Structures are given as structure tokens and as C-alpha cells.
A and B are shown apart, each in its own frame.
Chain A
């Protein structure tokens, strides 16, 4: 099993390092390829069991789009094949059609998802998030300059408490085939052990074993209760 941590050296912000940490401990036998910014991604020549990219800075996003542009067709192929992919924080925006900046400029994305990000220059949006997907509760934090808009056929989660892709949205993130794109930080996989187990199954792990599962579940259960508590303000 090979997992690609795409541009991990610049895509680990806001605690997203923790997603890779959990994956490495959950899959001690797997090989982790930490592709660097100037290297050709693993996915170009191989099919990874998971492609993961974490939150990055806005300037690195533009650089990453430029680096990945030659491999756009290959990425589309893998997405259509059903290769599991996870993009957390602002990472998924590289797949969008465009990123609109506060002054009217636009950065073209890879155009692989029918979404647009709209960015404020200085105003940071911080909130807690509680959502539901099928029977699963999804929790996390939003901390971003951006809102997302677009044609979301299948979201990551419906909003139970908090905000979705934009202030009026009732959904957060999206899933297309086995590609998961979410703004949620936490880190996402650490905060959502049940989601993580589902992801591992998608990757082909028949009986996923999360390290310290009891501790992860205790924290998850407490957090779900905290986020439901109306005395805890959503906006931070």
C-alpha cells in the first residue's frame, strides 16, 4: 500500500500534520511517499492507495496549481477511477475552477471540480462545525479567508451546527467518487475516527485498526457533545 502525501513540506499547516501522523500509525506497513514541491508526484506514474494534501498558504496554492497543471489529465483519470483522495483545509481549492481574490483578480485552478473559492484579504472566518453524513457525525473547525460556492451534488456533510461552504450554505465540502474535499481542520482524521475508519476501508483495509482508538473515540464523543451545546458559540 502506497500513500502519497502531496507537497507535505508546504501542505501541513493548521495542524494538518496530525492527519499524516495518524495515517502513519494506523498503517505501519504502508509506504508513505512525501512528494516535494520540485519533484514529480508519485501519482503520475503509479496509483496510490490514498492521495492526501493538507492545508497550505495562499501563495503556495498558486505555486502548486502551476506545478500540477501538466498532470491535470492524470489527476482527472485517477479521480474517475475511484482512487481515494483527501484534501483538507484550503487544499481542495487547487481542484476548483478558480479562486477569486478580494481585488477582482482571479487565480485559475485545475478545473477538476465545479467550485469557486472567494477570498477576503484580511478577514479570517473562524468557527466550529458539526455536521452529519448518513449516520455519521462530522466535527471540525473552520479557519479560513475563503468561502466556497458551486454545484455540490454530494457534500461531505450537512450542517447541523455551524456554517457550511459559505454563510448561507447548508452543506460543507464535497465528495466526488472517492475524492473528499473539506475545509475542516482539527485535524480532520484525528477528530473523526469513524470517518477515518471508513476512509481506510475505501483504501482497501478490510479491518481498520486505529491507534489509541478508545482515546480518539472519547475525545470525539466529548467534542460532539460540546458542539451540540448551545452555550458554546459557533463563531470563534
Chain B
């Protein structure tokens, strides 16, 4: 009966894919939703490829999934993935709808790489039983959905199947403690001479020892709670690193040590976040069984998505769009830190409203007070333009962060934001956009470009 139900669910899922194709829509989610409605055990019953990799975490999972999929393809595998779709139950189920042959009832692939939403992992992990699970990190995310990191930690901790090998960030004292009984390896990044360490942030999701509640001391702290920490009472310390990045140069080379082996490969990206992502991928694929030489060779040829950073130069002013995931205080704080460190004088326009919430309700903006707006309080940040329905709240937050009132522009209409920028002695304008406001950001950039061309 269960098999029949599964078969019917599979047919339904494939019909939905066909219908969406006819309507020229992406089938990221709905085929799987239909399938799991007809057969709640769909994931459990779905024929599994020989090898399944799960990738989860608060930040960096999409980039990590994309890199993993691209590298496996370059190495001759044909991985199925949900990397262009949804990472919750419906999206993962959709991947199985695609990957299961209708008549053979067998998987069409030997390898699957699945991006997994942390909160949904309790529905997914026990049913797919991945061989590997990489967790990039755990940070404070949307309070509406994910509450706090302890909640998400407990979900993952309880959901990981016993046999799954974990690839964990050893410098995240939260995610590195998941499922302590499982086999695991840790990746990390040594402090670099070009880094500024020890940043104090509002959000530090682990401030006290997870065992005794006593103070934590850091051998080094990168930001938030990331670094190498130990309890002053001796009850806890972050683990030893198995895959340790000893050096990286932005868009240069990355050197990683694993036991007696040294990996010397192209650094994909610029930031330490990119170094963590790459270290995680190297650890994962090495544990998967890919030898060093072909792996490093494939990394040389990797391309990365330009989603995060998109820049053009107009009349000696760099206009740059930066993705800053709204509702996620750590992601936005990291972006503030990045743009603050960019050379030259700059202005920034904040398009951080969640456009779905804007249409439906009045957005919960508690998270502003978990974001380090204080990072913008820097001589090089000449102006901040707050725009959107929450502009008055953003202005309050900036003022409480100590940012000078006369350097704040404020308008509820995003289309008016470009007009508020003062280009005097400005080297750059950064437009920070949430996931759902990219098209608005593009219009703002176009407005800025028009102004610059017109005024000069």
C-alpha cells in the first residue's frame, strides 16, 4: 500500500513539474509539496542514491552547495541537487521527484547534494539519512521563524542520524557541538596577518560556557562567537582543527593543512567567510574520497556566483549592490563590516525591508538591535540613507549607534533614496538589499547612475 502511495505521489510530482514547465515556471517546491501531501513518507520511501550529502547552517550554505555541486560535476559526477530551488521539505522532496525514474523506480544518479534549511532538518534528515552533513555555522537568524540558535542547535542535534559523518566549523562553538556521538571532522581558518581580529559584536550567540555557564576566553576571536574559545573553569574548549586553512589571500591562493598533507589551491572569493566555505568544501570532498590533486585542479576552474556583490564605476564613483540578508543580524553586521573596510569615502543606502512582510503586515524590526549599526559609525561612511517603510526605525537605530544626525537621509519611498545621496568627495555608494528587494536595488543603482551622468 505504501509503495502504491509512493508511486502515485511520484506521478503527481512529475505531472506538476510538467505543468510548471508548460507555464514556464521553476519547479522548486510545489512538486515535492504535492508528493508529500499524497504520501507523507515520500522522502523515506524514495529510492536513494548511493551517496547523499546534506549541507546546512545559518550562512554560506547556498555558496557551499553550489561549490560542491560544481566541483563534483567537474570531477565527472552527475549530482542531483536542490541548489536552484527550495531547501525546506517540499524542495528536498522535489529533488527526489526529479531524481527518481518513473518506470525504473530507481535513482537516476549516484550522488545527491542537498541544501537543508536548519529548522526543517527534523523532518528531512531522519528520512534521507545522509552519508555526510556539513554545517557551515549557526548564527542568530529570523527570530520569527528560528527563535534563537539554541533552538536550532537542539533541532539539528536531535535530527542527525547516528551514522552520518559531520563536517563542522571547529571555530563555531555552537555548531561544532552538534551530535557529539557522531563521527566528525572540523575545519577552520588560522588568524591571518591581513585580518583585524577581536571585534566585539552585539550578537554573540554563545557568551558563556555551555557546560558550567562560566566565562569563555578566546585564543582568538574573529567576530560574534566565532574563534577558538575555552572555558576559564576548564569545562569546555573548541575542538582541534582537522582541515586548517593556514593562509589565504583574497582572490589569490588558499593553503590548507590536513594532517601531513598540504592543499594549495585557488582562493575562491575574497573574505574570511569565503575561506570558511572553501575549507568546508575541501573537508567534505576529501572525506567523500576525492584525492587532493584532482580536487585542487577542479577548484582552479571554479566560477562563483556574483549574486552577493555587483559593482559598476560611473564618473569616478563606484556603485555597488551588496546582498544583506534581512532579519539576519549577523549577515547584515558582516556586510556593514565589509563596506566599512573598503577604501575611500562612501555612502550607503539601506534596502533591508522584507518585501513580503511589507506587503502583508508591519515588519518586526527587533533584529535591528542585534545588528552592529555601530560599525557604520566610521569616518569613511559619510552618509547613510534609510529608506522603505521602516526608515524611521532605521534612523532611530543609527542615532542610538552614535551616527551623526546630519549624515542620515530618510525617506519611506525607495524611489526617492538616490536623490538624497550627496556625491561630494564620495568614492563609492553601496546599496544594501535584502533577498526580495534586488529589483528595487537595481532601480536605485540606475537612479544613482542617471544623477551622476546628469550632474557631471
Contact = CB atoms under 8 A, between A and B. Distances in A.
The finding on whether chains A and B are genuine partners in a shared complex, rather than unrelated, reads yes
Interface of A: 9-10, 12-18, 21-22, 25, 36-38, 57-60, 63, 124, 126, 128, 141, 143, 145, 185-187, 190, 211-212, 215-216, 218-219, 222-223, 226-227, 229, 232-236
A203 to B, nearest CB: 20
A36 B400 contact: no
B147 interface: yes
16 contacts: A14-B370, A16-B366, A18-B368, A18-B397, A22-B400, A36-B215, A38-B213, A63-B213, A124-B145, A187-B366, A187-B369, A211-B400, A215-B395, A215-B405, A232-B360, A236-B363
Contact of A219 (B202, B366, B393): B393
A223 B362 contact: yes
B361 A17 contact: no
Contacts of A226: 362, 389
Nearest to A145: B147
A101 B78 CA distance: 46
A40 to B, nearest CB: 14
Interface of B: 143-145, 147-148, 150-151, 202, 207-208, 213-215, 357, 360-370, 389, 392-393, 395-397, 399-400, 405
A222 B361 contact: no
Given A10-B207, A37-B213, A185 B392 contact: no
A216 B148 CA distance: 27
Top 7 closest A-B pairs, CB basis? A15-B366, A18-B369, A15-B369, A219-B392, A233-B361, A212-B399, A226-B362
Given A9-B208, A219-B396, 7 more contacts: A143-B364, A145-B147, A187-B366, A219-B393, A227-B362, A236-B357, A236-B361
A190 B390 CA distance: 14
A15 B399 contact: no
Contacts of A25: 400
B221 to A, nearest CB: 15
A9 B360 contact: no
A232 B369 contact: no
A126 B364 contact: yes
Contact of A212 (B365, B368, B400): B400
A178 to B, nearest CB: 25
B400 A17 contact: no
Contacts, number: 110
A64 to B, nearest CB: 10
Q: Which one of B202, B362, B370 has the greatest number of beta carbons of chain A within 10 Å?
A: B362
Given A57-B151, A58-B150, A215 B215 contact: no
A18 B397 CA distance: 9
A14 B363 CA distance: 14
A16 B362 contact: no
Contacts of A227: 362
B208 A10 contact: yes
Contact of A216 (B208, B357, B362, B396): B396
A21 B150 contact: no
**Dominant secondary structure at the B interface:** helix
A192 to B, nearest CB: 12
Contacts of B151: 57-58
Nearest to A130: B362
B369 A141 contact: no
A25 B151 CA distance: 32
Contacts of A15: 143, 365-370
Contacts of A145: 147
A187 B393 CA distance: 11
Contacts of B147: 124, 143, 145
B213 A232 contact: no
Contacts of A124: 144-145, 147
Contacts of A234: 361
Nearest to B395: A215
Given A124-B145, A185-B366, A57 B207 contact: no
B369 A128 contact: no
Contacts of B393: 219, 223
Contacts of A219: 392-393, 395-396
Given A128-B361, A128-B364, A236 B144 contact: yes
A60 B405 CA distance: 38
B143 A18 contact: no
Contacts of A232: 360-362
A38 B369 contact: no
B144 A143 contact: yes
Contacts of B392: 215, 218-219, 222
Contact of B202 (A17, A60, A223): A17
A59 B157 CA distance: 15
A111 B197 CA distance: 45
A235 B357 CA distance: 11
B220 to A, nearest CB: 20
Nearest to B144: A126
Contacts of B357: 236
Contacts of B389: 226
Nearest to A59: B150
B286 to A, nearest CB: 35
Contact of A38 (B214, B360, B362, B397): B214
A186 B395 CA distance: 15
A190 B400 contact: yes
A222 B393 CA distance: 10
Contacts of A215: 392, 395-396, 399, 405
Contacts of B202: 12, 17
Contacts of B143: 13-15, 143, 185
Contact of A17 (B215, B370, B405): B370
A37 B150 CA distance: 17
Contacts of B370: 14-15, 17
A10 B215 CA distance: 11
B150 A9 contact: no
A97 to B, nearest CB: 24
A25 B374 CA distance: 14
B400 A18 contact: yes
B398 to A, nearest CB: 9
B364 to A, nearest CB: 5
Nearest to B397: A18
A141 B370 CA distance: 15
